[in-house]
Amino acid sequence: MCEAMLTCRGVKKSFYNRSWFGRRCRVQAVGGVDMEIEKGHSTALVGESGCGKTTLAKMIAGLIRPDEGEIVFDGIDIARADQKEIKKVRRALQMVFQDPYSSLNPRMSVWDIVGEPLAINERISRMDLDRRIEELLGMVGLPPLYAIRYPNELSGGERQRVAIARAISLSPRLLVADEPLSALDPIVQADILELFIELKDRLGISYLFITHDIKAAVRLCDNVLVMYGGVLLEKIPVERLGEACHPYTEMLLHPMRIKEERHPIDVPYGTENAHLTKDVCPFLARCPHASRECLTLPPPKISLGNGHEVMCHLAKRAKGVL
């Protein structure tokens, strides 16, 4: 087995909102995530909007701190790291954000944006900096003249290329990409995905690629993590996606098939957020295969071999039959 580059254990994060009546209420964004990314491997984190993917990504990148748990990268617990350790982590772990329009400073030129990490972290001459920026722009498919342009002069795809050039400027080993395709036109999405694949092959970068597009995940990554309600429900190698066990993963792969099915039991009203107060599956209220044990017992974590893991009573019953 390969050595883990990134390890998350029991990572939790909640936020607090005001209700209609002014009461302070807790909203759980991430609820006890355990995951690993091995050296030389890339992992896709998939799930619908609001399931906690971006919150988890920001905690891994050190932008927000978890309430509980540990996030270890190269032996450093990011959740408890001091500024010196965080600076060391950020040389090897970078992030590309979803919105290329808000992730770039409109007052900075492309030269300044791409060169800033190098100027801060490297002792580098102006001549070498110019040469390195030109090289980085070439790697993301932009001509050298783009260095004097500003973000408002660029298209969405060009802005995302600049953001990627900035992220790879320090030669990171892990790149956290948070929905980097979703704000782009379909044709541009395909081009940016090809760029990610090219950089992976050329630089040996590992990705935590956050997306709701299963097809993109299959092309770029080795494993898929399926997230719902702040919980990881299934981990599966991309070559075994046809053997997915969790009903939510099946819904992502075959949405029309799931819509035709019905609950085998009556799921009580109000169970949509039952996992916040009871240790039950967060997908309970929508699951077409929910059983009576799903209403009262926590879903077991079942290992199906070859890196395939699932949290589901259905998988337990299926494995028992096998």
Beta bridge partners of 46: 211, 226
Pick from 276, 296, 285: which is nearest to 230 by CA? 276
Write out pLDDT tens, residues 196-239: 999 999 999 999 999 988 889 999 999 999 999 999 999 999 99
Distance CA 220, CA 112 (A): 30
pLDDT at 265 over 50: no
Q: Indicate the residue among 173, 199, 228 that finishes a domain.
A: 228
- The predicted model scores a pTM of 0.88
Find the CATH number of the domain harbouring 154.
Answer: 3.40.50.300
Three-class DSSP category at 169: coil
Cβ-contact 38, 2 below 8 angstroms: yes
The answer to the question of residue 72 being in a domain is yes
- Helix residue ranges per DSSP H, the chain: 53-60, 83-92, 110-121, 126-139, 156-167, 186-203, 214-220, 247-253, 255-259, 292-296, 313-321
Pick from 270, 250, 246, 272: which is nearest to 260 by CA? 250
Whether residue 118 sits in one domain with residue 12: yes
Whether residue 116 sits in one domain with residue 151: yes
Domain of residue 276: give its range: 244-321
Q: For residue 61, what are the contacts with CB-CB under 8 A and spacing of at least 6? A: 93, 94, 95, 176
Write out pLDDT tens, residues 157-191: 999 999 999 999 999 999 999 999 988 899 999 99
Instruction: Copy the structure tokens of residue 297.
Output: 């017992």
Whether residue 126 sits in one domain with residue 15: yes
Q: Indicate the residue among 168, 194, 228 that finishes a domain.
A: 228
Write out pLDDT tens, residues 76-116: 999 899 888 988 998 999 999 998 889 999 999 999 999 99
Distance CA 47, CA 251 (A): 11
Structural domain count of the chain: 2
Write out pLDDT tens, residues 99-108: 888 999 999 9
DSSP state of 50: T
The answer to the question of residue 234 being in a domain is no
Whether residue 257 sits in one domain with residue 215: no
Whether residue 254 sits in one domain with residue 175: no
The answer to the question of residue 152 being in a domain is yes
Instruction: Copy the structure tokens of residue 296.
Output: 């009262």
Whether residue 295 sits in one domain with residue 185: no
Pick from 223, 288, 279, 261: which is nearest to 6 by CA? 223
